[in-house]
Each structure stands twice: as structure tokens, then as C-alpha cells.
Amino acid sequence: MADVIVGIDLGTTNSEVAIVENGRPRVINVDGDPILPSVVGLADDGRLLVGKPARNQFVLAPDRTVKSIKRKMGLDVKVPIGDQQFRPQEISAMILRRLKEAAEKDLGKPVTKAVVTVPAYFNDSQRQATREAGQLAGLEVVRILNEPTAAALTYTPDPSGTEKFLVYDLGGGTFDVSVLTAEDGVFEVLSSHGDTQLGGDDFDELFLNAVADEFERMYCVDLRANKSSRARLLRGVENAKKALSDHAFTKIEEEFIAEKDGVPLHLSQEFSRGEFEALIAPLIDRTMQCVQKALDDARLTAAQIKQVVLVGGSTRIPMIGRLLEERLGQPAHREVHPDLCVALGAAVQAAIVAGESVGAVLVDITPHSLGIKSLEIPDSFSLHPNEFKFTPIITRNTPLPASRSEVFCTVSDNQPTVEIDVFQGESGDVRRNHRVGKFMVEGLARVPAGNQLVVQMDLTLDGTLKVSAREKGTGLLRQVTIENAMARFAVEERDAAQQRLDRMWANPSWDEEAEENGDPLSVSDIIPDDEEEDFDDIPFGGDDDDDDENPFAVDDEEEDEPEPEPAERSPQPQSRISGLTAPAPTPPSAAEGSRETAQADSLLAKVARIREKASAEDQAELDKLTGRLRAAVDDRRWADVQTACTELADVLFYLEDS
């Protein structure tokens, strides 16, 4: 029997171990969690602590706990833990040994070999130190794998042809960006830039200093002077940083964190995402400079990059994805869990070394963006406000389950109500997207314009969408639940098509007329024109289909209330950084190909719902047809789009009926 080879991501903040089973990579749980904190400590009785126990002890005993040891790998130093001294390799070996034991327990067999990942810019001494750590842990390191290569393997385990990737890896303590090329299954790093002393830890330090400075201004007490208080504050800002990746506001609260003149002091500060992003903007700008340097060294332009992949927990910060998309002209991929991506790629490489065949990583994602209709007020007084602005809250390709929130504000003084109109789609104009539903928030405080509302969306694996709107100043909350939100397009499309067919079948001569006219049915006759329906559904400045059945019920909503004018009920999106609204983009016109694009989007949404239930042969056929359809849409070949839609609709009809 061949030896088991595992893949290990030995990270600065967290570490993971993964294995390929039945052709699919999976991460092995350690103490019930796939992520092991890269923290080592000694208990007061001398017992070794690794992972969560060590991280929990850090708050109470930071002098007996070590974090971020990866930053010291390759250095000729010793690190104190209590009254003992350890080399960085020894501490890393403790983490590797814990991962090894977890893998052996999960697999029920000894684990003696591993593929271990390192940053692409690690020098020889750092790579050798990693090998030594593996040997100390009882592991033969069969391959040292560059982290960007591991990430690319996760998304494309068996690339055909030539593909180019840009991997942006921002972890807890290190940053690197690499440009890779994959040709016939062989990956090569073309260029790499980074900073071994830049990562989430530095964001935490900036955040900690901002909170500590404000606390000192209020109470004349410096929380950084006491190790225990500083450790508690660090834990608080770490949790706040994570919360701000998904939500617009968060609070840092720590009771009895200090005392003054015998009086206990409590910490309670609220921060917005914009304030946090302003703090870290100089560091993020440094990473963007590295992105350009990596492209320049690889002698490539942004247009030549096929995929942009995000790796590392710190890439969850929305600002990073936004800036990368602006710079590179394409959205960055984050479908695979950014903390697990490298470990999964290491497992793929381990399987390749062992001679196994490997399939792609399967991830549940949302196929379309979800957001609300809002009012965008341009900076120039010569432009009209855009009443049809679509503001995404959960963006396309977000892994499920997902929870996101954004802050909006009222546009009129003493505005009593707002309408939350929920849409799904990718256009910046809601008239080109699909309405999921709407509800009213009434009884708002009588305050000047700019009253903030936090709109939150929670989307589950089964497609249930929960939308809530909370008035920040008063806590007034309204929320709704939409069942099977992701499949809503398909259901509405099917119902409309059924009604159309029933009407046609009611005419006894329809088939004869079709034969006489030589006008056979096409996919456009079966699929309703969503674009025309949406434009008629939302007249400029008018009421929105008041007579239609509301697709979901609103908690605590009063019925038969008159709707206010659109200028009063459309929430205004608030800029995350500056607090100002962005200039209104030119609303898209009904350009050539819009009808074909709408048909293609509807069919692709249906494919996303049906594909996993299909056989391997049918999946291959679907992949071929969807690839052809996407290529035709990208090249704006509308006749080919129509043909591809017809072919794909025929296959979907067969699969739905089988």
C-alpha cells in the first residue's frame, strides 16, 4: 500500500492539513475545526499547548505564548516561551506535529510524508528551516510548494492549454503576489513580489493603536502598557476586523479592561468599515504597487491574466477585491475558502506526487449578485439623480452560506419611510435585473437627511434569503425571509413559459399557421423577455407593480399603507470611505444584444441549479454548451448567442423532464 501523503499549509496565523480522497481534496478537522491557529504556548504547569488552547491563553499569559512564528523562519534567533528558549523551527514543528496527529486520527493510519507550502519569495534558508521543522515533527517533506502554485492548483488542478494566473496572497503576517503560467499541467512562477513583514497582524496593530489612543484620550489610561489589557484589546480588534468584512459597523466591547483610582473602566467603541479601511489604506496601497511590479516583471498586461485568485484570510476585506477589480479589470476569485485554498492545493500536489488523479474542488456559491434599488445623487448639479441604481450587497460567486450588510441613508429631512426593493443580477441598473421582492420600513425617526439604515442579507445553502433593515440610531428593525431565492428566476421562467404554451395550445390552428408561415418555435418564444417585463414593471417615477402578489411576507409590516414618492423612499447608498456618494454612471441603454444577454443569463442560472444533479456525461455536455454560450456573449456574436441558447434550452428541457 502506498504511503499517505498529506498537504499542509503552514501559515503565519493559521495552519491546515488536507488529503485527497476519491479524487477530491478535503481539509481534515483539528479539534472539530478545519483551521488550527498557529499559536504555541506553555501552560502554568509546563504542559504544551498548540492551537486554540494556546490562542485562548494568549490573553491571560502572553509571555508564555508565541504567535506568528513564520515571520522568524530562517533567522538565527531564539524565541522565549516562559522560561524556555526555542528555535523558530522547533515551534513550527510543534504545529506540524499537531496537524500530523489530527491526520492520523482521521485517516486511521500513520502519516509520514507531506507537501508543505511556503511563500514564493521565501529564500533558501527559510525553505530549509521549513524542511527542518517537518523532520522534527516526524514528517518527510517530499515537496516544498509555492503557495501561489497551490492556490492555482485548487482552482485548476489539471489545466489544459496555456493559462495565466495572478495570485494575491495576504495572510496574517506575510504578503506576496505572484504571476503564474500553467501549460499542459506544468505551473511556473513568472514573477513574484511581496513583503514578509506585511499582513493582517499589521492591520490589527493599526486598529489597536487607534482604539487605544481614543481610550487614552477619554480616560488618560494607555491599554498598551499592560500586557493582559493589550492582549484583550488585540483579541477585540481582531474580531472587529473580521466583522467589518461582512458588515458596515461593529462594536469593540471589553468589560473591566482597566482601572483608574480604584474605579473599573470598560471599553465600548463603535467603528465603521470606512474608518477601518481608511486606517489600512496606506498598507493596501503598498500591495497594489507590488501587483503592478509583478505584472511588469512578467511582461504581461492585466488583460492577459485569465484568473485573479485571492488567498489568505485578510483578502476578505472588501476594499482589496474592489481595488483589484479596478486595477485588473476583472473580479477576483474567492469561491474557495481563502484560509483553506492553499492547503487544498497542497493536497492536490501531494496526490499528484503519489500518482493519483484529482478532480476540481466543489464549492457552493451564489450565481448572481443580490442587492437593493437605491437613489444615487451625482456630484454635479447638471446631472439628474439616478433612481435605478443597483447596489450589490452579496456579490456574485460569494461562497455560501453568506452574510453581508451595507449602510444606506435617507435623502429627505424627516423622511418617515423607505422601501427596500430587492433585486438579483449584475447590471448597475435595476431595470435590467430581476426583482426578488420588496418591503417597507416605516416609523423612521424625524431627523435630517442622512439617517443611516443598515441593510443586511443572509443567504443559506438551500437558497433561503433573509433581508433585514435596521435604523442605526433607534434600532428599529424590519425583516423578511424569501424561500429559494437563488432558484426564483427558474421558477418564474417556468411558470411564464407554461402559461405561454397553454395559450398557444388553446388555439386549434396555431400549428398550421406556423407551418404556413415557416416560423418554427425558437428559444425566444419559450423564454419570456425578462428585460421588457422589468422595464415595464418599474416606470420612472411611478409605483412598482402594486397589484402584483408580494413574493414574501414582512414581519410587523402594516398593510394598505400609501406609498410615499420615490424621492422619499429610495435609500441613498453611502460611500464606504469618504461618506460622499459616487458620481452617477450613465444608465445603460437598451443596446443591441440586451435581449440575447438576458436569455443567456436565464439559461446559465438554470444550468447552475441543474448541473450537480446531472450525470457525468450530461455535465460534460452542459459545460461544452455553456462555454460556447459565454464565448459568444463575450464576443458579442448575437446570432451565435441565439443558436447556443436554443441548443442549451433543448438539453435543459431533456434534463428537467428526465
* CATH code, domain carrying 323: 3.30.420.40
Cα first-last separation, the chain: 42
What integer pLDDT is reported at residue 586 of this predicted model? 40
Specify if 579 maps to a domain.
no
* Average pLDDT of the segment spanning 400-428: 89
Specify if 523 maps to a domain.
no
Contacts 24+ apart (CB under 8 A), 318-327: 318/245, 318/273, 318/576, 319/277, 319/280, 319/281, 319/284, 319/576, 320/168, 320/170, 320/284, 320/287, 323/284, 323/288, 324/168, 324/288, 324/291, 327/288, 327/291, 327/292, 327/302
CA distance 358 to 356: 6
Band of the pLDDT at 574, cuts 50, 70, 90?
Answer: very low
> Do 349 and 374 sit in the same domain of this protein?
no
Q: Where are the alpha helices (DSSP H) in 124-179?
A: 124-136, 147-155
Are the C-beta atoms of residues 452 and 472 closer than 8 Å to each other?
yes
CA distance 610 to 477: 36
Specify if 265 maps to a domain.
no
What integer pLDDT is reported at residue 335 of this predicted model? 79
What integer pLDDT is reported at residue 162 of this predicted model? 78
Flag whether pLDDT at 553 surpasses 60.
Answer: no
Band of the pLDDT at 478, cuts 50, 70, 90?
Answer: confident
Q: Is 157 exposed, middle or buried (0-12, 13-18, 19+ CB in 10 A)?
A: buried
Flag whether pLDDT at 215 surpasses 60.
Answer: yes
Band of the pLDDT at 199, cuts 50, 70, 90?
Answer: confident
Are the C-beta atoms of residues 362 and 603 closer than 8 Å to each other?
no
pLDDT in tens, 225-261: 998 899 899 999 999 999 999 898 999 999 999 999 8
> Do 448 and 300 sit in the same domain of this protein?
no
Lowest mean pLDDT among 52-61, 183-192, 293-302, 329-338: 183-192
Band of the pLDDT at 23, cuts 50, 70, 90?
Answer: confident
> Do 94 and 141 sit in the same domain of this protein?
yes
pLDDT in tens, 605-637: 788 877 877 888 788 888 888 888 888 887 778
Q: Please report the sign of the dihedral spanned by the C-alpha atoms of residue 482, residue 485, residue 491, residue 496.
A: positive
Specify if 223 maps to a domain.
no
> Do 629 and 544 sit in the same domain of this protein?
no
> Do 374 and 347 sit in the same domain of this protein?
no
Band of the pLDDT at 435, cuts 50, 70, 90?
Answer: confident
DSSP secondary structure letter of residue 3 = P
Report for 3-17, 503-517, 568-582, 623-637: range of highest mean pLDDT: 3-17
- Kindly state the greatest CA–CA separation across the chain: 97
State what percent of residues in the chain have pLDDT above 90.
Answer: 37
Model-wide pTM > 0.85: no
Give the closest residue to 317 by CA, choosing from 252, 234, 392, 242: 242
How many CA within 13 A on the CB side of residue 598? 22
> Do 37 and 142 sit in the same domain of this protein?
yes
Specify if 443 maps to a domain.
yes
What are the catalytic residues?
9, 70, 147, 169
> Do 384 and 330 sit in the same domain of this protein?
no
What integer pLDDT is reported at residue 575 of this predicted model? 35
Does 401 sit behind a cis peptide bond, omega within 30 degrees of 0 on the bond before it? yes
> Do 327 and 379 sit in the same domain of this protein?
no
State what percent of residues in the chain have pLDDT above 70.
Answer: 78
CATH for 430: 2.60.34.10
Specify if 384 maps to a domain.
yes
SS3 51: coil
Q: At 62, list the grid cell.
A: 502572553
Report for 340-344, 360-364, 555-559: range of highest mean pLDDT: 340-344
Q: Which residue has the higher pLDDT, 187 or 433?
A: 433
Looking at every residue in the chain, the average pLDDT score rounds to 80
What integer pLDDT is reported at residue 159 of this predicted model? 62
Band of the pLDDT at 277, cuts 50, 70, 90?
Answer: very high
What integer pLDDT is reported at residue 526 of this predicted model? 35
* Average pLDDT of the segment spanning 278-301: 93
What integer pLDDT is reported at residue 619 of this predicted model? 84
Flag whether pLDDT at 587 surpasses 60.
Answer: no
What integer pLDDT is reported at residue 194 of this predicted model? 81
Flag whether pLDDT at 366 surpasses 90.
Answer: no
pLDDT in tens, 514-552: 444 444 434 334 334 443 344 344 333 334 444 444 444
Structural domains counted in the chain: 3
Give the closest residue to 424 by CA, choosing from 494, 365, 487: 487
pLDDT in tens, 25-61: 999 999 899 999 999 999 988 899 999 999 989 878 8
Q: Side chain identity at 527, as an amino acid letter? A: I
Q: Which residue has the higher pLDDT, 463 or 395?
A: 395
Cα 218 to its chain centre, rounded Å, is 37
Lowest mean pLDDT among 85-89, 360-364, 543-547, 575-579: 575-579
Lowest mean pLDDT among 106-110, 135-139, 345-349, 381-385: 381-385
Q: Which residue has the higher pLDDT, 156 or 417?
A: 417
Identify how many contiguous H helices and E strands the chain contains and give both numbers: 17, 26
> Do 598 and 627 sit in the same domain of this protein?
yes
Of 322, 353, 384, the residue at which a domain comes to its end is 353
Q: Which residue has the higher pLDDT, 169 or 595?
A: 169
> Do 446 and 342 sit in the same domain of this protein?
no
Specify if 380 maps to a domain.
yes
Flag whether pLDDT at 507 surpasses 70.
Answer: no
Domain that holds residue 19: 5-198+283-353
> Do 343 and 427 sit in the same domain of this protein?
no
Of 298, 319, 353, the residue at which a domain comes to its end is 353
Specify if 220 maps to a domain.
no
Q: At 455, list the grid cell.
A: 441593510
Q: Is 634 exposed, middle or buried (0-12, 13-18, 19+ CB in 10 A)?
A: exposed
Lowest mean pLDDT among 84-88, 409-413, 501-505, 535-539: 535-539
Of 298, 320, 353, the residue at which a domain comes to its end is 353
* Average pLDDT of the segment spanning 398-421: 88
> Do 320 and 181 sit in the same domain of this protein?
yes
CA distance 385 to 589: 16
pLDDT in tens, 127-186: 889 999 999 999 999 999 888 888 888 877 666 667 888 999 998 888 889 898 877 767
